[in-house]
Amino acid sequence: MVSISLGLCACELRLNDPFKVEEPADCEVESQNQFVVDVMREFYLWTDELPADIDLSAWETPESLVSDLRQGVDRWTRISDKSTSDALFMEGKFVGLGYKTLRGPDNEVRISFVSDNSPATAVNLLRGDMILGVNGVSAEQLDAEGSWSSVYGDNEPGVEVSLEIERLATGEVETVMLTKDWIDIVSIPVASVVDGPGGVPVGYYIMDKFVETTKSELEATYAMFKEKGVSTVVIDLRYNGGGLISVAERQVNLTVGADHEGATAYTFQYNSNYTSENKSTEISELGHSLGADEVIVLTSSRTLSASELVINALLPYAKVTLIGGPTGGKPVGSKSFEFCDKLLFPITFRLVNANGNTDYFEGMPADCFAEDDLFHQLGDPEEGMLAAALAYLDSGACDIQPMPAPGLPPRLTQLDSVGETLLPNALEREDIDSW
């Protein structure tokens, strides 16, 4: 048996899984801090950049220690509550209100996305509705105080939130009461086939999450596409911050698997301690796989991680065009290490496509700029970004050129709070069964 000395955590590597470590013997703060340091030194992608001497007593929590140990471009290494993480990624559930927001043309706060079967749908919130106030505090005051994050209260089921809204459809102002609750995620709320140039069928879907339950939704979507003869796909990832790699793998297989079975999709690259574990994932043909020859992806600064992995993996095998804005820039991922009812997610690997492309930390530039049109519903062919995609397919040219500088226009920035609480945008979990 191969073992390594990892101080107080007494962690032991197992031959059948070199990334498996045992929890610390106790959950005193110093023991947790020692566990964090030992795991980071062993598995962190940038382990060579960690400080040589770390005083464990200088941090009152392992969370604060992890934050300070991040190196260079890393803004994702973190610690999360295990039960919350498992609920999100494995069960497809999260606690929240069920909506996201963006700034509108006049810096107003508008609903951008509503989760199906959520507290937001219960009060008929729709994309484009304007938020005038929260819990009796006006949007202007929340802006002035910078208190959007705190005004929603604790993120627990049963917490009530009062919203003053102006309905997009009618212009009427009303106050609605929402209660935070567990929401069963619908990852693909809109999937359709629209007419492309010459009546050619174009498959469109918006994908909000990469969680375990997304896989069956992807299968159903591509089954519909295959039945209707789709060979061009528009994938809307404008709000998708990532998730399980196994879902990204499924998405790649379904999009191009019919023509590229056995080709390399992407490769995991670990730090210098684990180069022997570097390995590639091959594309597989599934029952509903397409051989898409053209893929358009709708993107924004919220498009991160697993979303970018899908884009990067498809680039060698299809004509891939990004329409919208530059992506967020996360070409790396994490393995999880359990301790004291928590999960440590250090960045542990790079993701590299078949052409060797990686390290897009500044994001992937969009090929064509398009506005996120909050005044049309998602999936409407007249909605700004989808309309730009269909126009590009028709003409082969962008409606608006050149691209603006990296980063979205100020009016499309995300609010401090978006009505739902998720883990930070990241390729949050790399489940081993995806290999």
Both 215 and 357 in one domain: the answer is: yes
Give the closest residue to 49 by CA, choosing from 14, 9, 20, 77: 77
Both 272 and 331 in one domain: the answer is yes
Given 158, 184, 210, which residue is the final one in a domain? 184
List, for the chain, all residue ranges whose pLDDT scores fall below the cut of 50.
1-15, 402-435
Residue 1, domain member (yes or no): no
Q: In this structure, what CATH number is given to the domain that contains residue 97?
A: 2.30.42.10
Q: Rounded distance, CA 415 to CA 100, Å?
A: 9
Q: Looking at the structure, tell me whether residues 153 and 295 fall in a common domain.
A: no
Kindly state whether residue 83 falls inside one of the protein's structural domains. Answer: no
Query: DSSP assignment, residue 34?
Result: H
The whole-number pLDDT of residue 89 equals 78
**Per-residue confidence (pLDDT) for residue 377, from 0 to 100:** 96
Q: What is the pLDDT of residue 419?
A: 41
Q: The whole model's pTM is what?
A: 0.87
- Looking at the fold, whether 214 and 304 belong to one and the same domain comes out as yes
User: What pLDDT, on a 0 to 100 scale, did the predictor assign at position 401?
Assistant: 52
> Does 223 lie in the same domain as 145?
no
- The amino acid occupying position 372 is D
Whether 82 is in a domain gets the answer no
Q: Residue 79 domain-assigned?
A: no
pLDDT in tens, 115-150: 999 999 999 999 999 999 999 999 999 999 998 989
Same domain, 64 and 212: no
- Please indicate, yes or no, if residue 84 is contained in any of the structural domains: no
Q: Are residues 158 and 265 in the same domain?
A: no
Q: Is residue 308 part of a domain?
A: yes
Q: Which amino acid is at 374?
A: L
Task: Output the domain CATH number for residue 336.
Answer: 3.90.226.10
Q: Is 38 exposed, middle or buried (0-12, 13-18, 19+ CB in 10 A)?
A: buried
All residues at 6 or more sequence positions from 212 whose CB lies less than 8 Å from its CB, including other chains: 89, 90, 91, 92, 244, 246, 247
What is the C-alpha separation between 311 and 314, in angstroms, rounded?
A: 5
Given a contact cutoff of 8 angstroms between Cβ atoms, the answer to whether 50 and 66 are in contact is: no
Same domain, 220 and 271: yes
Domain presence at residue 86: no
Mark 302-317 as b/e (b = at least 16 C-beta within 10 Å). bbbbbbbbbbbbbbbb
CA separation for the pair 136, 237 (Å, rounded): 33
**How many angstroms separate the Cα of 68 from the Cα of each of 38, 44, 173, 233?**
15, 14, 45, 42
Give the chain's domain count. 3
- Domain enclosing residue 149, as ranges: 93-184
The answer to whether the beta carbons of residues 315 and 357 sit under 8 Å apart is: yes
CA distance 280 to 249: 11
Is 363 domain-assigned? Answer: yes
204 lies in the same domain as 347: yes
- Closest by CA position to 71, among listed 285, 382, 361: 361
Mark whether 175 and 196 lie in a shared domain.
no
CA 53 → CA 35, 56, 429, distances in Å? 15, 9, 29
Last residue of a domain, one of 134, 156, 184: 184
Whether 132 and 239 map to the same domain: the answer is no
- The residue among 72, 101, 120 that closes a domain is 72
Question: What does the alpha-carbon distance between residue 386 and residue 323 come to, in Å, rounded to a whole number?
Answer: 9
Q: Both 291 and 396 in a single domain? A: yes
Distance CA 197, CA 390 (A): 8
